[in-house]
Structure 1
């Protein structure tokens, strides 16, 4: 076999199984030898990604429901965002409109804003204990790092706050997130850890379908992503998942090609104080054409950086995945494979087959 015929596999983060032990056992049985990192699957409330974090504002005396959206019965979706439904939350019925966004109460000063615990360290530490126990019993291979995937500050702001208050709340929320990252770094050995930033809202800003509270959108996106990435020390692996969403089984926008993702990577890498160890880019199921993959020729990959293409789809299985691999291989070498996003909101019974497609493709 050629080096490119056996490809490394990445799981982006969420895996819709019962709990972290179920994820570790299922994934390792099918893919343990093909991976270098393993996530805990973001099971339970975290399966809804940032949707669960509304509680941070609901009980906060500085915030209230936006009156206009409350009167409308839920979030008023901006025309460029398209129609979206709310899925995966433990407290909101599937298919119901997203709840209204929140806003600062009148008279609240920036210095008065407090953001409480988000719960990321507790979840990571609990799952790492499970991983260590299973590793002792030979279930989890010793070479696998524990992968912790974290949504960026922009994801929280976009999900839960009216646009006009993003700039005011951003510094406080970002600092809370960085405190929790620091707690994770203090609790888990660095040689056993990978931190992945989930970059979705920023890609929407880049594509012009998400609000940005800064005038130079591209420069503002890169500045903010660099601030997140540079908080990860060099002895911890750093991953970046460029995300186009998966709510309702669809992207918030179909990427026209890999060009914007390549540009984000190249500009971000030039701003960092440390290397990116891996970067993930989605590939729509219907794109097995040269036009989509050709921009990969322009990627400026450091020798430490592994490219993962999210071209694994269960809808057309191994055959369709191999077609996309063949076209991508004309423009990039040595890349790994992945699904286009996490699969925490998939029916659990479909997940073993999707993992098998990863293994066989």
Structure 2
């Protein structure tokens, strides 16, 4: 079988600052990458966990509960719309995504000018779906009313990014994780995440709407995820069937083409049953496919086994990735992970 083509970095990377992240990624994987993220450093270290603090700065939004739920510098208590306040009255405080992207873009652009990052590589900005934030951190009874408010605010953050960064230098990745908690029927303390009836149409059409916000000159990708809290999934996928079904629905619903699609592969899955459904993946040939089959625990040997299993059911070229970001992986594991990506994939 041919070696996988290239590698993809999902988002979070275990370095303290964007410059170290981008320099190190380019040094170890530059020939294998089409785009480089900033590592989701600072308050973004735990994906969307910083959003309740950001939302709590808005007049008319209150925190749920009197006792903070600490996570390093963050308070993960959910939010609610205050009594007597209508959702359409809310003017959300900045969400932090544009601010972080523009700061990291300046570093990325300088590193390109210095020759540390190859000229063909784009700057990758990863954004959550509005559903992910609203379903995770907004009180259940407020979600339907709050969703369009948050979606508009996130769209404004995207517009700031699009206005500031040259489109031929930019790639936007939409991270879809809570979607799979919904599709798999997962719940927490009996609380259902969704506030709509048709979960397949509701989740896929929402994601397609976000993809279509990205201009055609800007690359647009999707990372599908089963969660990564303490390196555990909220549900263990039985196989790739729901990933394939969801991806096909999203591609069909989106007006613009998808540049890349990333799918997770759990560490213990090198069996035919997991990969067989990939034979039904109906994405265009020009859409890059990355399989998240690189894991720090078993390195090249484990990745090679999963690649061999995947190649029996995926007739098209694909690249490699981790199944989620690795910003919360143990210290000292990042460069070895980069080396594993390089060892099991061909340079572009």
Query: Does TM, scored on the shorter chain, surpass 0.5?
Result: yes
**Cα distance change of structure 1 residues 110 and 58 upon mapping to structure 2, 3 Å threshold:** closer
Tell me how far apart the structure 2 counterparts of residues 32 and 241 of structure 1 sit (CA, whole Å).
Answer: 21
Q: Unaligned stretches of 5+ in structure 2? A: 188-192
Residue in structure 1 matched with residue 240 of structure 2 by the alignment: 258
Corresponding position of 1:107: 84
2:148 corresponding residue in structure 1: 171
Contact 1:51 1:159 in 2 (8 A): no
- The SS at the match of 2:117 is coil
Q: Contact 1:276–1:305 (CA<8 Å) still a contact in 2?
A: yes
Listed as ranges, the matches of 1:338-353 within 5 Å are 338-353=321-336
Unaligned runs of 5+ in 1: 76-85, 93-98
Residues 288-342 of structure 1 deviation map (CA, whole Å, 9 limit, x = unaligned): 0000000000011202211110000111110011000001001113011000000
Matched with 2:62 is: 64
Q: Deviation per CA, 1:226-274, whole angstroms, max 9, x where unpaired? A: 1111101111111000011111111111111111010111111111111
- The equivalent residue for 2:19 is 21
Structure 1: 4+ residue segments shifted above 4 A: none
**Is the counterpart of residue 279 in structure 1 residue 268 in structure 2?**
no
**Residue from 29, 32, 38 that aligns with 2:30:** 32
SS of equivalent residue, structure 1 residue 249: coil
Does residue 135 (structure 1) correspond to residue 118 (structure 2)? The answer is no
Q: For residues 297-336 of structure 1, what are the structure 2 equivalents within 5 Å?
A: 297-332=279-314, 333-336=316-319
Q: Give RMSD over aligned pairs.
A: 1.5
Shift of 1:179: 0.6
In structure 1, the partner of 2:190 is none
Calculate the TM-score normalised by the size of structure 2. 0.93
Q: CA deviation at 1:59?
A: 2.7
Aligned ranges 1:156-305 → 2 under 5 Å: 156-210=133-187, 211-305=193-287
Q: Distance in 2 between matches of 1:326 and 1:304?
A: 23
For residues 61 and 330 of structure 2, the distance between their equivalents in structure 1, rounded to whole angstroms, comes to: 35
In the aligned structure 1, how far is the partner of 2:250 from the partner of 2:208?
6
Q: CA separation of 1:193/1:225 partners in 2, compared to 1, >3 Å: closer, same or farther?
A: same
Which position in structure 2 is the counterpart of 1:125? 102
Match of 1:359 in 2: 342
8 Å Cα contact 1:113-1:169 kept in structure 2: no
Deviation at 1:74, TM superposition (A): 6.7
Tell me the CA shift for residue 219 of structure 1.
Answer: 0.9
Q: Distance in 2 between matches of 1:54 and 1:272?
A: 29
Task: Calculate the TM-score normalised by the size of structure 1.
Answer: 0.90
